[in-house]
Amino acid sequence: MKTLRDLMDLSNRVAVVTGGAGTLGLAFCESLAELGATVCILDISEQRAQERAQQIAQRFPVRTWAVGADITIESDVDQAVHRIVEKHGRLDILVNNAAYSPRNLPTDGFPLEGQNLAQWDAQLAVILTGTFLVSRACARPLANHAKGTIINIASIYGLVGPVPSLYAGTALVNEAHYAAGKGGIVQLTRYLATTLAPSVRVNCIAPGGIKAQQPESFHERYNARTPMGRMANPEDMKGALAYLASDLSSYMTGQVLAVDGGWTAW
């Protein structure tokens, strides 16, 4: 019987993290690197991806590689995945983490009648269509080595509705595209899990709110509604990613793992 250390070992496996240059993406890349995987950072900014790749390589004795691609463009995605497989010879792990197109459109706020189609289209193109395009491009190489796994990143707001009172008196909003996109990822996870099995496992992490530069009033309200009494930080997501990416979860597919401090348990 294998040890837990054996089951966690990702040596000789190649991982791709979309949106890997971001804060949450960095936590995921570090998790994979610490367990021994070759980490390919796919981001719309190749320069930022290269900076992250160098940063990770300085901390962990693994190969890293930066790939620039816009995941809303089919040809970009296909070319990027082809380059990764051609360079590394295989693909074992895909983390669909990328979210949000550049914020060059106005924030619409909560009232539904004020939310515009351009914002909806731009955001869903990244959140949902991008996840589909990258998963489709990676499906065949992931199936080639019997250890293929996809981890999609959704949100608690893909599982439950938003709480408008959290945002009162702040510039923060939670628009319809976010709930629709993240809810779509949850269902896409189930679709991919059943259609790609048994060669590829597909699971999903639904993070709670990540603490950043939100107003203190928002932090206080959020904390009061969370059994754990605080917002998440990127490190809180590392364990879930390590579990789903490795053989620790070898008999798990089609599942959504809420890492939310108990938010969805109320």
Q: Is 200 helix (H, G, I), strand (E, B) or coil?
A: strand
Contact, 56 vs 33, CB < 8 A? Answer: yes
Q: Which two tokens stand for residue 217?
A: 């009033």
CB atoms within 10 A of CB 105: 14
- Burial code of 112-133, b = ≥16 C-beta within 10 A, e = fewer? eeebeeebbebbbbbbbbbbbb
**222 among known catalytic residues:** no
| Catalytic entry in 100, 157, 167, 178 | 178
Strands of the sheet with 200-207, listed across from one edge: 64-68, 38-43, 14-18, 93-96, 148-153, 200-207, 256-259
Q: What residues form DSSP beta bridges with 204? A: 152, 256
First to last CA, the chain: 39
Contact, 217 vs 159, CB < 8 A? Answer: no
User: Helix 176-196 crosses helix 131-142 at what angle (to 10 degrees)?
Assistant: 20
- Residues with Cβ < 8 Å from 208, sequence gap 6 or more? 156, 226, 231, 232, 258, 259, 260, 261, 263
Instruction: Please give the biggest Cα pair distance in the chain.
Output: 58
Dist. CA 102–CA 210, nearest whole Å = 19
Q: Known catalytic residues?
A: 178
